[in-house]
Structure 1
Amino acid sequence: MAELKKNILATLAYFDVFNYPLTREEICLFLPAKYEPMLFDVAMACLVSCRLIYRFDKFYTLKNDPYLIQRRNDGNQKAFEMIKVARKVGDILIRFPYVRGIAISGSLSKNYADEGSDIDLFIITAANRLWIARTLMHCFKKLTFLVNREHYFCMNYYIDEQQLEIAEKNIYTATEVVTLIPIQGDTTFADFFTANAWTRNYLPNHIMRVSTAKSLNKIVLKGMTEWLFNNRFGDVLDDRLMKITAGRWNQKTQQKRLNNHGILLAMAVDKHYAKPDPENFQYKLISRYETKVAQLLVENHHSVAN
């Protein structure tokens, strides 16, 4: 029972970093181990009675603050509308050469959005053509600035089919992987989730969503463009575009340029991935989470142990 209580607190602590209350079912999904439902309900009742966690309607939180529930409900409604837009965006972006899969990521994939939220997208490309695909997509994104829709096309994280496994393995990356909402490329994401089965070590109760993605259709112009670059010239061009992009991003980082959210612009670059790297964000978040869990367990040792 003590271990279960600790795990419930740890699960709520992770989402407390984002001020996001959870339902009973969501707590079960994000627990790091499997438990009998009856035992889980007893542990939850004990934690509520001891005021280690607080219940407001169907939501649970570490803070005795009902505003968090209103914030979540508003965010869920906003996310519902934005996800519909994101699916339309996916219908456009899947037409670009070498794009094999598109998923919603970030806070929107956790069903939350506010007035400042973007549509963050996770992109899978064909092997060894990530940089051709990314360059074409980002040229298109520049055009969206003309109609003030750039926040609909935040293509933040790219990987290719040659390296589907996420290298960093921790609670943050596991949560990000299992909460992705695939919207294009069902078989591609089936392969992706298979390659990242390690997430079950962190979140054994979570079932990853492949059925939310559309199947890939043949697009004549896309196929013709890929045929033009499926050769040695395409290899050289992809390498060259990677080096150019890496150089530009290094310059942005050295100049300490900030994005619209005031975060330092930085990107990790490789032949098979392109991903944001804002000031050791993962390390800082995990450190905050672990500190919060440690404080909870120290301050409430007696209640948790019984």
Structure 2
Amino acid sequence: MKDALIPLIFFAQFDRPLTLRELRRYGWGGELDVNELKQIIKKSDMHWSGEFCYVDETHIHEYARRRELAKKFWQRVRQSRWIFANVPFIKLVAVGNTLAYDNVHENSDIDLFVVTRARRVWTARAILLLWLSFLGLRVRSVKKYLLFSPEFFVDETALDLSLCAIANDYYLAYWLADLVPVWQTDYFETIWSANKWLKDKLPVAYRSPNRRPEFDKPMRPSWFAWGLEKILVGKFGDRIEAWVRIKQQRIIERNKQKLGINPSVIADDHVVKIHFNDRRAEVRERIEEFLAG
């Protein structure tokens, strides 16, 4: 029954305890009720105190502080949605990673996942980065606090994220399960339908996506974004797309050489995924060590 404890091992790497309800939601490859989970925890080396299950007791006190700090981050997201309204070709923006599960700290950023229209992923990315840079809201150095890090873009033809996975990709599955749509949230159902593979990995989480009601109120793209879309269609838009792609790919390659520790970079016609320190293999190794022990 060690599989039932995979969520605790995964989130312990980010100092995040889990409630029993969360442990059930994050159950890997199957579904157990709360009473079954209680019995498994009692027979394991894990701990249970109050509402939380945990590997290290310090995670409980730290999480209370981080959860409170996350309120400030969510306020930043709410106040910044107008930026997304002024970027053409965006079909959805979602928040992922630590903020998605309220576990931020004093040097956390705000990770964004962005879906664009077909054949305009590089154009949308360029304009979003320009907005964030102009407003001083983009991560540009080691200073990350309350800044946006839009490092994962796909267009509407590349919604199946399993194509970006490594073998036994626990990280990607949990990342997807916790995505919080914050702009054009209705489109999230399309994302979910395109990733039904998640149902086999995290069946309870697939039935209960991580929605926040404050972002469900519709917001329309601005006249500015609408006008840019009208200009950047057809062959002219294709030429602009090709030009901004070449410019950005050069910057990405340069940064990969300069900043890459364990880089994972996809930069093609449909996907732009940039992580200069990809921890997925490390996370997988720790989980598999636990399962084998």
TM over 0.5: yes
Rounded Cα–Cα distance in structure 2 between residues aligned with 1:15 and 1:235:
42
Give the superposition deviation at 1:265.
Answer: 6.8
Deviates more, 1:135-144 or 1:28-37: 28-37
User: For 1:206-221, what aligned pairs fall within 5 Å after superposition?
Assistant: 206=205, 207-209=208-210, 212-221=215-224
User: For 1:178-197, what aligned pairs fall within 5 Å after superposition?
Assistant: 178-197=177-196
Give the superposition deviation at 1:51.
Answer: 5.3
Question: Quick one: which amino acid aligns to residue 2 of structure 2?
Answer: K
Which of 243, 256, 259 aligns to 1:257? It is 259
TM-score normalised by the chain length of structure 1: 0.83
User: Aligned pairs, how many?
Assistant: 281
Which of 126, 134, 146 aligns to 2:125? It is 134
- Cα RMSD of the aligned pairs, angstroms, is 2.4
In the alignment, which residue of structure 2 is the partner of 1:70? 61
Stretches of structure 1 lacking an aligned partner (at least 5 in a row): 296-306
TM-score normalised by the chain length of structure 2: 0.87
The CA deviation string for residues 83-130 of structure 1, in whole angstroms up to 9 with x for no partner, is 121122223223211112111111000111111111111111111111
In the alignment, which residue of structure 2 is the partner of 1:160? 155
User: For 1:2-81, what aligned pairs fall within 5 Å after superposition?
Assistant: 5-35=1-31, 37=33, 40-48=34-42, 50=43, 52-63=45-56, 66-81=57-72
Rounded Cα–Cα distance in structure 2 between residues aligned with 1:175 and 1:54:
22
2:185·2:216 contact (CA, 8 Å) conserved in 1? yes
In the alignment, which residue of structure 2 is the partner of 1:300? none
In the alignment, which residue of structure 2 is the partner of 1:84? 75
Residues 1:171 and 2:170 aligned together: yes
Cα 1:98–1:36, aligned 2, differ >3 Å: closer, same or farther?
Answer: closer
Rounded Cα–Cα distance in structure 2 between residues aligned with 1:146 and 1:205:
35
The CA deviation string for residues 121-144 of structure 1, in whole angstroms up to 9 with x for no partner, is 111111111111111111222223
Stretches of structure 2 lacking an aligned partner (at least 5 in a row): none
Give the superposition deviation at 1:33.
Answer: 4.2
In the alignment, which residue of structure 1 is the partner of 2:228? 225
- Structure 1 counterpart SS, 2:158: coil
- Structure 1 counterpart SS, 2:15: coil
- Structure 2 counterpart SS, 1:208: coil
Question: Quick one: which amino acid aligns to residue 7 of structure 1?
Answer: D
Give the superposition deviation at 1:213.
Answer: 3.5
**Percent identity over paired residues:** 21
In the alignment, which residue of structure 2 is the partner of 1:236? 239
Which of 93, 104, 115 aligns to 2:95? It is 104
Question: Quick one: which amino acid aligns to residue 7 of structure 2?
Answer: T
